[in-house]
Amino acid sequence: MDKSIIRAKTLVEALPYIQMFNNKIIVIKYGGSAMIDAELKMSVIKDISLMKLVGIKPVVVHGGGKKISEMLVKIGKEPKFIQGLRVTDDETMEIAEMVLSGNVNKEIVQLFEKQGIKSVGISGKDGRSIIAKKKLLDGLDIGWVGEIDTIQTELITALIENDFIPVIAPIACDENNNTYNINADYVAGAIAAKLGAEKLIYLTDVEGVLRDVKDKTSLISKIKVDEIQRYKDDKIIQGGMIPKVDCCAESIKNGVAGVHILDGRVEHSILLELFTNSGIGTMLMP
Amino acid sequence: MDKSIIRAKTLVEALPYIQMFNNKIIVIKYGGSAMIDAELKMSVIKDISLMKLVGIKPVVVHGGGKKISEMLVKIGKEPKFIQGLRVTDDETMEIAEMVLSGNVNKEIVQLFEKQGIKSVGISGKDGRSIIAKKKLLDGLDIGWVGEIDTIQTELITALIENDFIPVIAPIACDENNNTYNINADYVAGAIAAKLGAEKLIYLTDVEGVLRDVKDKTSLISKIKVDEIQRYKDDKIIQGGMIPKVDCCAESIKNGVAGVHILDGRVEHSILLELFTNSGIGTMLMP
Amino acid sequence: MDKSIIRAKTLVEALPYIQMFNNKIIVIKYGGSAMIDAELKMSVIKDISLMKLVGIKPVVVHGGGKKISEMLVKIGKEPKFIQGLRVTDDETMEIAEMVLSGNVNKEIVQLFEKQGIKSVGISGKDGRSIIAKKKLLDGLDIGWVGEIDTIQTELITALIENDFIPVIAPIACDENNNTYNINADYVAGAIAAKLGAEKLIYLTDVEGVLRDVKDKTSLISKIKVDEIQRYKDDKIIQGGMIPKVDCCAESIKNGVAGVHILDGRVEHSILLELFTNSGIGTMLMP
Amino acid sequence: MDKSIIRAKTLVEALPYIQMFNNKIIVIKYGGSAMIDAELKMSVIKDISLMKLVGIKPVVVHGGGKKISEMLVKIGKEPKFIQGLRVTDDETMEIAEMVLSGNVNKEIVQLFEKQGIKSVGISGKDGRSIIAKKKLLDGLDIGWVGEIDTIQTELITALIENDFIPVIAPIACDENNNTYNINADYVAGAIAAKLGAEKLIYLTDVEGVLRDVKDKTSLISKIKVDEIQRYKDDKIIQGGMIPKVDCCAESIKNGVAGVHILDGRVEHSILLELFTNSGIGTMLMP
Amino acid sequence: MDKSIIRAKTLVEALPYIQMFNNKIIVIKYGGSAMIDAELKMSVIKDISLMKLVGIKPVVVHGGGKKISEMLVKIGKEPKFIQGLRVTDDETMEIAEMVLSGNVNKEIVQLFEKQGIKSVGISGKDGRSIIAKKKLLDGLDIGWVGEIDTIQTELITALIENDFIPVIAPIACDENNNTYNINADYVAGAIAAKLGAEKLIYLTDVEGVLRDVKDKTSLISKIKVDEIQRYKDDKIIQGGMIPKVDCCAESIKNGVAGVHILDGRVEHSILLELFTNSGIGTMLMP
Amino acid sequence: MDKSIIRAKTLVEALPYIQMFNNKIIVIKYGGSAMIDAELKMSVIKDISLMKLVGIKPVVVHGGGKKISEMLVKIGKEPKFIQGLRVTDDETMEIAEMVLSGNVNKEIVQLFEKQGIKSVGISGKDGRSIIAKKKLLDGLDIGWVGEIDTIQTELITALIENDFIPVIAPIACDENNNTYNINADYVAGAIAAKLGAEKLIYLTDVEGVLRDVKDKTSLISKIKVDEIQRYKDDKIIQGGMIPKVDCCAESIKNGVAGVHILDGRVEHSILLELFTNSGIGTMLMP
């Protein structure tokens, strides 16, 4: 019984947090380990399900690079990367789309539906939600790697209003009917900005921004957009973290109230960040 | 951190319960100690606030007999009762209405608003929500004690649809402009039935129905409507519990899916009953 | 028969007036003798009922000072005033709220409902409609006498749209959960302004603004806001009329098209003013 | 001033009548002297305008036989009748339609609009509101005289919902594109029935049903449908009154709550009948 | 079969045109030969019916001068014109209204209804859609010839939203209850501008604007508004074409995207212009 | 020009057909050659685009067996069939879903979007639109081959109402989170029935039902449901046509007004069947 009362108290303690985000759109970039480990997967799905039930409007954007590479290997094709970007010829693009739109995307939907939560899996092609253009790598054409030209939220908004969680694969087309693979981080950022989301959450495989990359206790909890440059100068934000932080900064400039870089390897990291005082990642804010 | 994860897990464990009651109307009869003790008061208000935020539509019906008696004493009038019913002359009726509609009712509203939860305090007079007629006590006229003639839910429904919690004082009038004081238990039951509520919750000062009234561990968790007579025959349901149980049975016959008799002296008793497996009271069901 | 034809003609003559106010909000400050004399009471209720039926949207704000004093006396407490403002300690505030929200307010509702007109009695606490702050009297704290900080019309508007007449008691709370008694004239003015009311009508116990206060035939029918100062200089507007006129002027500056000071002691004074050419009070206008 | 108070009282006395018909559809067959005498015309228009403003939904059906005959004479054609029905060749039909739809109909609209009341003039052709078929006179073809085959209320309802008074000319077409002139009494009856009107009012040039046709004081105020036969047997309902009463009876059988035969030569006869106790005509009822 | 495939291809070729005008308002001024020749009449009605069915919102404005003159002759009155404007005394006005509102207007409605297309015939009097004032001819009063003072689109918009084609006769009244006959070209232009129509189409009895009025192959397909003056200077736009072109220019200045002067003597001229590449008339554009 | 007029006439001739299907739901099972040949593909997309633009509500269900087999071969796995049903182990199921939901489905969407037609690609998993259960082949388990248990049209209806064409891949899950491949013919039939579709169209690689399978001119244009048995007895309906016809019959029994078996190898076969008199396939009807 005492345990039950503690439970009830816990629920009640979540009250102000629930209130704060009521009716707000929160975009979650779902990727990394949290998309592979079965237990973490369920933990993320449950966190987002709870968000939905307490009146938040979640939108999920997912990646799936690892699965694409596995499938390429299966058909006897070696994945190739230049500066971290996948070299994407026609066949690779076809496989990438099948894996993202036809496998990863639908699996997430299926997990939500299993929880009794209504969701719909789409890609940027559906409702022409994302129009892309070719992205060059320092002038080099590496195939069907795209960058975002335009976001059209008509379909996403219709799904939200009809009470579905939109689950979005980062695939888009251009005016000439070409298909592109786009970095899911950018897609999440652009959609959050266009929807006027309250928050954008990146599930990553790092703790957040660390003052000393070797010291996991050196997490920086809050960074203001105008402090970013100083952190870069001090080499605190460096390497792979730079594009992610830039993408966060961009979203904030476009009106998202806060962007969270969370450690997706921690169970219930989203709830911990949103619904308790124990913020566990790094929050970027205006 | 570990404590935080336990919190997050607790929230997630509430998922199926939240889902079960999503968008459902739950009527709470608020009375007894839970309306007097300051801490219990806040616990009830927070429980109902949480219900509201997670998508449930609560309706509150309250009593206030103790406060009425205090006020009567204040104006130098001794409260009189016959068989538990208050003898209600004109002056008593005027005081009763002022206390219920003007004091108790507005205090509850104020507590909700303090939590940031929109609510509106009404009595059965507003929108002609309750039409009453005189209740005789074995043929004896004991004044302005009423019983329910008709419930009109137009106002209550409008308030719910406009996202307010209706807080209802058990005062009503008749076609001849007389004012009546009505037993709040009956009001809660009749409104729950008319609204097609999913659940009706009675906050009382007992543990529920006890198999042995002296043994608090002998709580009966579930009673089917057609078992009531047997429990009465066995003197398990007896005394003051009889009218309450009859009132519950009536609501269930009119379509309420479940009626809970809870111990309002236990903190967060509503959440314990609805959102955890540790049912703490007695549930009557069809 | 001839009498009937005169009746029909009278109805038809009201046509242009009815048209003029169709669908418009008119706020009525209900107070003074018209709230005490039984016949006048019915006359006001019927006037407002007719307004409602011919497509006007009335909102009623009421006072009740006399009843408060009576109740205070009943509990053996002498009412105290400084410069016309009631000294309001905790007990006085409790009594004031009970009388206004639990007695006067509900009686008005009951009278409307008796006429078959849907109405709802609320105070400034319901839906957090009025947020107040303490009003000092030249720096002196005289207790829970409040002035208006904010008006929130969400609930009032919802009631109007659902076809109820809102009846409002001038009680409010602040962010710290304190309860205040506010001058009903100010409440009526502030609500009229916030709702963008077409008209604001004060039922008073004077004829209106008289050029010569001893000569009841010296009524001034229309005063433009920018003439007020001159009338004050000429001592035509003086004494208790000054705050009332200032309050009217404030409402007009905030967008109310016309404010009427009517003699509530005259039967059907509202209809006389609105629906016939015989304006009977003083109208302030931009 | 006293006169004004009497006026106000008169308005208030209309309260229960206004309430009774609030939001109800009332169909008025407008014809006879009330359509010719300029003063009576204004009296009818004002009565209906008032009905509209106090929340009733009037629908006007008009005739215009006299004007048709005048126009026929103007083009040198003698109007011909058999048993009261106009012999309607092609040319007559063309003139009849022009007069009804292009003259009488638009004049009524213009009078309403002059009063500031929104109205729209249509014929049975618009929105295919009336489908007709040829009416034979004891097997005799007398031209384009039609009887009603089907009423389609889609357009009429849309106009009512958009706050216009529909003004309907009794012209219709059939599936083969022929145009028919239909008796306006039948049109009014059929439309009232199809719309589920509360009342149907016939403005005629008689006092109503008289017990003794020579004694104007022998008016029968109320006739139940099942008494009609007896009145016919007693020769109290006879001659031209028979088809009118049959038409009333038909409407009542189809759900109209009351049908009034009024003397349109009396000023404000509609208001007298609806809004005062001095019923002036004969009411047929179930 | 081959013929059928050609048909199917034809339908498919119309796709981009249909798309272009989807949900757009197109105002058609219907007049000239296309209103007299039976076959052309059906061709116009079918073109507009098709427009309606493929998602365009057509509004029809019609003239009818020839029919008015015929009717005047019929009653023995000779039609009189000064500078092309009809001298309109009271009797002429009455006949003109009957012919336009009661004959031409209803015939068009009937033809649409025959096609299964919902339509409603109104004049500028209905819903006070057109308010007119007297038009003087160089200071000369030639009777009830009006010019447009105000357009009120409330009724027209309500009809469009309820899925009816509004068919409008160019008759209007003023504030003093006078009736006026207005040039239908001006009515079409003013209504198109007020409705924010995408296109305005004039069905005329000429090919369009010809570079050489004697050479039918010298049609000018497109004229920009700022080229008009030059065409006037060059005497290419001259005579009766000047007011029409000025009226088009006016509409374009008021926001209509394109105005087409089409030859109504060519079968299906509207479809040819809108749905194929073979533009057949002159289009004026910004 | 003459050619243009013929085009205009062709459009006008489609009028009654367009009218007939206005606002109706038509389900198209898209498969066979029409999904492979590039030109036929565009012809189908354009036909459906035109349907959408003229007010029909198309829903597309597609197959893709050939592409699945190709992909299986690519990963070195030989497709296996028993009695025409694909033996579907885990790996095959994963590939099938990727091909159907991630490739074929999105390609169709992309083609619509290229035409400027809004569409959304979903599978039966999205919005839990299709719940499946395992289908046994005469008691034999051949893997993840499913049959339909339940259709939930909430998502499909929301997409239609938001003006998107739903494009549906025949993939579904069950309560235990398993994924199934379902015959697209059955999916189309079940969805048409549940949506209350007006028509269901099967694009196949045969001419329809032939009286003599070797004589392509022996096409049977119309078959009533109760004639099917006779045709089976006469061996006219035989072999692979039997399940298809049974599926059609089932849809008709469930309320679809007509089911068409069309030859998808004929260009614009859908338009030919729906919008011209040259029905080209076999129509089954009640």
Specify whether the CB–CB gap between C214 and C126 falls below 8 A: no
Nearest-CA neighbor of C80 among C130, C142, C160? C142
Q: Containing H/E element for A282?
A: strand A282-285
| 10-residue mean pLDDT series, chain F (286 residues) | 79 89 96 92 95 95 96 95 93 98 98 95 98 93 96 98 98 94 95 96 93 89 94 90 89 94 93 82 93
Nearest-CA neighbor of A273 among A28, A9, A61? A28
Find the CB nearest A54 among B9, B53, B280: B53
* ipTM of the modeled complex: 0.94
Find the CB nearest A267 among B5, B13, B277: B5
The pLDDT value given to residue B240: 79
Complete edge-to-edge strand list for the sheet that includes strand F57-62: F119-123, F165-169, F57-62, F25-30, F199-204, F258-263, F282-285, F222-224
The pLDDT value given to residue B1: 56
Mean per-residue pLDDT for B43-54?
95
Question: pLDDT: is B51 or C83 the higher one?
Answer: B51
Q: In angstroms, what separates the C-alpha of B102 from chain C's closest C-alpha? A: 4
Residue-level length of chain E: 286
- pLDDT level of residue E186 (50, 70, 90 thresholds): very high
**What pTM did the predictor assign?**
0.90
Compute the distance between CA of residue B189 and CA of residue B202 in angstroms, rounded to an integer: 9
Mean per-residue pLDDT for D188-195?
96
> Which chain D residues contact residue C116 at CB under 8 A?
19
Nearest-CA neighbor of A71 among A50, A100, A46? A100
Mean per-residue pLDDT for C227-253?
91
Mean per-residue pLDDT for C229-242?
90
CA angle C195, C199, C204 (to 5 degrees): 115
Compute the distance between CA of residue E181 and CA of residue E160 in angstroms, rounded to an integer: 24
Compute the distance between CA of residue F247 and CA of residue F191 in angstroms, rounded to an integer: 12
The pLDDT value given to residue E6: 82
The 10s digit of each residue's pLDDT in F100-143 is 999 999 999 999 999 999 999 999 999 999 999 999 988 999 99
- Asked if the Cβ–Cβ distance from D50 to C18 is below 8 Å, we say yes
- pLDDT level of residue A280 (50, 70, 90 thresholds): confident
Determine the residue of chain E that is closest to F55 in CA distance. Answer: E54
CATH code at position F203: 3.40.1160.10
How would DSSP label each residue in E103-150?
A: IIHHHHHHHHHHTT--EEEEETTGGG-EEEEEEEETTEEEEEEEEEEE
Q: In angstroms, what separates the C-alpha of C143 from chain D's closest C-alpha? A: 43
The pLDDT value given to residue B49: 96
- Asked if the Cβ–Cβ distance from B125 to C121 is below 8 Å, we say yes
* Other residues' Cβ atoms within 10 Å of the Cβ of residue E74: 15
For residue C157, being part of any structural domain is answered with yes
**According to the annotation, is F65 in a ligand binding site?**
yes
Lowest mean pLDDT among B239-248, C47-56, D23-32, D78-87: B239-248
User: Can you point out the beta strands (E) in A39-186?
Assistant: 57-62, 81-82, 85-86, 119-123, 130-137, 140-151, 165-169, 171-173, 179-182
Q: In angstroms, what separates the C-alpha of F97 from chain A's closest C-alpha? A: 6
For residue C269, being part of any structural domain is answered with yes
For residue B4, being part of any structural domain is answered with no
Exposure class string for A26-44: b at 16+ Cβ within 10 A, else e: bbbbbbbbbbeeeebbebb
Q: Do chains D and C touch (3 or more CB pairs under 8 A)?
A: yes
DSSP B88: B
At C122 the three-state DSSP class reads: strand
Cα distances (Å, whole numbers) of residue C38 to B93, B230, D193, E51, F228: 20, 56, 45, 67, 83
For residue E9, being part of any structural domain is answered with no
Q: Do chains F and D touch (3 or more CB pairs under 8 A)?
A: no
Compute the distance between CA of residue C109 and CA of residue C268 in angstroms, rounded to an integer: 19
Strand duo B81-82 + A57-62: pairing: unpaired
Compute the distance between CA of residue C110 and CA of residue C118 in angstroms, rounded to an integer: 10
Cα distances (Å, whole numbers) of residue F13 to B275, E11, E35, E55, E268: 64, 10, 21, 17, 12
The pLDDT value given to residue E153: 97
Which residue has 């169209």 as its token pair?
Answer: F201
The pLDDT value given to residue D11: 86
For residue F270, being part of any structural domain is answered with yes
Using only C-alpha atoms, chain E has a radius of gyration, in whole angstroms, of 19
For residue D118, being part of any structural domain is answered with yes
How would DSSP label each residue in A35-52?
A: GTSHHHHHHHHHHHHHHH
Determine the residue of chain C that is closest to D267 in CA distance. Answer: C5
The pLDDT value given to residue B179: 97
- Asked if the Cβ–Cβ distance from D271 to C18 is below 8 Å, we say no
Q: In angstroms, what separates the C-alpha of E101 from chain D's closest C-alpha? A: 5
- Asked if the Cβ–Cβ distance from B103 to C103 is below 8 Å, we say no
Nearest-CA neighbor of C25 among C179, C201, C180, C173? C201
Compute the distance between CA of residue E270 and CA of residue E196 in angstroms, rounded to an integer: 20
The pLDDT value given to residue F1: 56
| Full residue range of the structural domain in which residue C209 is found | 21-285
Q: List residues of chain E with CB under 8 Å from any CB of chain F.
A: 1, 4-15, 18-19, 22, 43, 46-47, 49-50, 53-55, 115-116, 266-268, 271-272, 275-278, 280
Find the CB nearest A102 among F101, F118, F177: F101
- pLDDT level of residue A239 (50, 70, 90 thresholds): confident
* Other residues' Cβ atoms within 10 Å of the Cβ of residue E234: 10
Determine the residue of chain D that is closest to E173 in CA distance. Answer: D110
The 10s digit of each residue's pLDDT in B6-42 is 888 888 888 889 999 999 999 999 999 999 999 999 9
* Other residues' Cβ atoms within 10 Å of the Cβ of residue B126: 31
Exposure class string for B247-267: b at 16+ Cβ within 10 A, else e: bbbbbbeeebebbbbbbbbbb
Of B68, B101, B165, B167, which to mutate for an interface test with C (greatest number of C Cβ within 10 Å)?
Answer: B101
Of E70, E94, E120, which to mutate for an interface test with D (greatest number of D Cβ within 10 Å)?
Answer: E120
pLDDT, chain D, mean: 93
pLDDT, chain E, mean: 93
pLDDT, chain C, mean: 93
The pLDDT value given to residue D163: 96
At C85 the three-state DSSP class reads: strand
| Count of pairs with CB atoms under 8 A, one residue in D, one in E | 113
Q: Nearest 5°: phi and psi at F85?
A: -100, 135
Compute the distance between CA of residue C252 and CA of residue C196 in angstroms, rounded to an integer: 10
Determine the residue of chain D that is closest to C55 in CA distance. Answer: D54
**What is the percentage of chain C residues whose pLDDT exceeds 70?**
100
With the C-alpha atoms ordered F122, F123, F124, F126, is the resulting torsion angle positive or negative?
negative
The pLDDT value given to residue E1: 56
- pLDDT level of residue C1 (50, 70, 90 thresholds): low
**Chains near D, with 3+ CB pairs < 8 A?**
C, E
Find the CB nearest D101 among E102, E162, E179: E102
The pLDDT value given to residue D1: 56
The pLDDT value given to residue A270: 93
Q: Nearest 5°: phi and psi at A207?
A: -75, -20
The pLDDT value given to residue C2: 74
The 10s digit of each residue's pLDDT in D119-149 is 999 999 999 999 999 999 889 999 999 999 9
| Count of pairs with CB atoms under 8 A, one residue in A, one in B | 110
**What is the percentage of chain E residues whose pLDDT exceeds 90?**
81
Specify whether the CB–CB gap between F217 and F85 falls below 8 A: no
Find the CB nearest E118 among D118, D119, D127: D127
For residue B108, being part of any structural domain is answered with yes
The 10s digit of each residue's pLDDT in D243-286 is 889 989 999 999 999 999 999 999 999 999 888 777 789 999 99
Residue D199 bridge partners (DSSP): D26, D258
Compute the distance between CA of residue C145 and CA of residue C136 in angstroms, rounded to an integer: 8
Number of domains in chain A: 1
The 10s digit of each residue's pLDDT in C15-45 is 889 999 999 999 999 999 999 999 999 999 9
For residue A177, being part of any structural domain is answered with yes
The pLDDT value given to residue C244: 86
